[in-house]
A and B are shown apart, each in its own frame.
Chain A
């Protein structure tokens, strides 16, 4: 039974990580590329680490919940690194593709 739970969580996590990387390669401009890694990869990692938590709790003696630390850490830091990346992209005036709406909402930073 636990083997099934671990397998399903692992497969979900692996697919989300893969989807994040596909988004990184497939999207046409930087701002759209950012969406894959910041969201899909974070949830994929959370799912993988939950699988690891269940695995180590059942395989070895005693409960093992320390894997949740990495999940929390990634969940907290993903928006911040995304923010830093998009800020540096705006600073370097990277082009977004033509059909992007509301480009004039971007103001020049000081």
Chain B
């Protein structure tokens, strides 16, 4: 996991890219004036706000991150069809449950991404991270953390935990190299 940035003048490359495209999308044009203004905004806003933000881990493998994003989008679509069938079916067949997933990730940023993906995919909503700490103190040995999720239709607990760890957590570990 790397916390220091690649370039001094570009503290957060992904945020800059996002600002650039959001400005162009809001104005719905690619004229030269808007391109220049978007570039200025994308460079100046991260530069002004960088003293206020806490250091986040760097995306080491952007290409893998992009492929993971596509996989998650595909999963969202299939998961929604499954959830729609579950909702329209009879209530009595559903077996809800709370499951604790042990996490290998330690930093809060990858855990946030994992919790959001879990919330958006097959019949699960992430509820809580145990033990809950606001920040990460230096030198202390990180404790094992758990993610509490609520499952709409719990059939096999171990299989679900394995799926989440293999499909969503392992790519995140590789992307952030932690």
Contacts and interface: CB of A to CB of B under 8 A. Distances in A.
A35 B130 contact: no
A79 B97 contact: no
Contacts of B83: 35-36, 39-40
A66 B98 contact: no
Contacts, number: 115
Interface stretch (B32-40, B48-56, B121-129, B169-177): B121-129
A53 to B, nearest CB: 11
B25 A99 contact: no
B131 to A, nearest CB: 9
B150 A103 contact: no
Contact of A101 (B80, B98, B123): B98
Contact of B80 (A26, A32, A39, A82): A39
5 contacts: A28-B91, A66-B28, A79-B115, A83-B115, A83-B125
B84 interface: yes
B89 to A, nearest CB: 10
A65 B29 CA distance: 10
B125 A19 contact: no
A31 B126 CA distance: 11
B87 A35 contact: yes
A99 B96 contact: yes
A69 B22 contact: yes
A109 B128 contact: yes
A43 interface: yes
A17 to B, nearest CB: 11
Nearest to A22: B87
Interface string A11-31: 000001001101100111101
A26 B91 contact: yes
Contacts of A90: 127-128
Contact of A66 (B25, B84, B97, B148): B25
Given A35-B123, A40-B84, A78-B119, 15 more contacts: A23-B87, A26-B87, A32-B94, A35-B87, A36-B83, A42-B80, A76-B116, A78-B120, A79-B119, A79-B126, A83-B125, A103-B98, A105-B99, A105-B100, A109-B128
